[in-house]
Amino acid sequence: MKKLIYLFTCALALTWACNDDEIEEYKTYPFSVQLVYPAGSDYSARAGVEVHLLNTVSGVAFDTVTNDAGRADFIVPAGVYELSATDVRSEGGVADIFNGVKSNITVTDTWDASTPVQLTLTVSRAGQVLVKELYIGGCQKDDGSGVFQMDKYVILYNNSGYTASIDSLAFGMIYPYNATGGDAYYDESGGLSYENAGWVPAGSGFWYFTSSVTLEPGEQVVVAINGAIDNTATYSNSVNLANDKYYCMYDIVNFPNTTYYPAPSAVIPTSHYLLSYRFASGNAWVLSTSCPAFIIFTPKETSLNIFSNNPETSDPTSGTVLTRKMLPTSWIVDGVDVFRHGAANNFKRAPAVVDAGYVDHIIGAGYSIYRNVDAAATLAIEENAGKIIYNYSFGTVDVEGSTDPSGIDAEASLKNGARIIYKDTNNSSNDFHLRSRASLKN
């Protein structure tokens, strides 16, 4: 009996010892954040703004909201953190979106908990038209021999309540073409050198509509980036882009690579062909299949033709082969910064005013980057009563359960006559998920 008591006492002592070690190992620290709004803004700090703190090593996330002074308080263990916040203010039929991101915040025993971390917000204005879906990664070939990736497309959507004309809208991509392509535009502080310069380095060329395009509220337009044909005739896992309502990027003069641009299906009117301005070398507009920074924009105060061909709008550091244009951020209507899932290093290219976050992507699986539903705004539309379909089942399991948190099946609801309002906070981490099947496959 004494022996049993002795063994029990030892075991209990070991348990206490382990618990003491864990308490020491997981010591926590106060962590305060102060949101800083842009100088000259009509808005100031307020209560209820959600602040997100992510441990970039463990993946553990902490969320809280600000008080009346715009301060948020956390209690966190030691680690390396990424801090972000989004505040949306709506007035007079437009929305001003404030975003802020700060990375590589290290909390250790030397952490100064008495001084709040300043999170400076940048402001952007929400537009009518947004990127609803971006399909770039391709699919598996039927014979298992590899991946077919010449079936890219993008869907633009009128997310507003009034008619949108997109005749002047253009398409571009931010350099480097891949998020894994290096940090050439990072400064000594580890941030984007052009973050506050009012421009982004646009690469390769621009595409633009050549005919009048009008979208009513809740309407969309499909633009084939490559292969405006019925790709399913050769690869059953692909998508059929031969549709007389679709548009396509096809300019055989500037981009003559027929692998990227086979002759469009005869059902697509030539008035639906987008043309381009090319300002860098190459016979194709090589939008990354894994991790592009894709943007749509509308030129202001000048024409796209003049801007594209003016040497003074070129980044002087880019040279004459891979020329890059200093595209004003004030022109950008929407942008999606895509990271390659599992890559050792991904670098942000879109500044916070364009996209304060990013979305992970996996190539070759038939996945698409799809925008989340704004459940509150969608359900507030009286005409949607009885038309919303739930139990969304197209999330993915190999990107930490990426899915639409609303649970609403947007495509099924649209087919049921509903009008969907999508999230638009200029933060892809909040606004998008990875869809397990491109919507045009439905």
Pick the CATH number of 25-125 from 1.10.10.10, 2.60.40.10, 3.40.50.10490, 3.10.350.10: 2.60.40.10
Q: Is the peptide bond before 256 cis (omega within 30 degrees of 0)?
A: no
Query: Which token pair is 144?
Result: 């298992």
Work out the pLDDT band at 126, boundaries 50, 70, 90.
low
Q: What is the pLDDT of residues 133-174, one digit of tens each?
A: 999 999 999 999 999 999 999 999 999 888 888 989 999 999
CA terminus-to-terminus distance, the chain: 70
- Does residue 346 carry a pLDDT above 50? yes
Where are the CATH 2.60.40.10 domain residues in the chain? Answer: 25-125
CB 277 within 8 A of CB 304: yes
Where does the pLDDT of residue 25 fall: very low under 50, low under 70, confident under 90, or very high at 90 and above? low
Interval 275-282 mean pLDDT: 96
Which pLDDT band, with edges at 50, 70 and 90, does 315 fall under?
very high
What is the arrangement of strands in the sheet containing 122-125, beginning at the earlier edge strand? 61-65, 50-55, 79-91, 94-107, 122-125
Burial class of residue 283 (count of CB atoms within 10 Å of its CB; 0-12, 13-18, 19+): middle
Backbone phi, psi, residue 411, to 5°: -65, -45
Burial 64-100 (b: 16+ CB within 10 A, else e): bebeeebebebebebbebbbbbbbeeeeeeebbbbbb
Phi, psi of 19 (to 5 degrees): -65, -40
Strands 359-361 and 332-340: parallel
173-198 pLDDT tens trace: 999 999 999 888 998 888 899 999 99
In this prediction, residues 365-378 reach a mean pLDDT of: 97
The residues, any chain, with a CB within 8 Å of residue 61's CB and separated by 6 or more, are: 52, 53, 54, 55
Q: Among 275, 259, 176, which residue's Cα sits nearest to residue 223?
A: 275
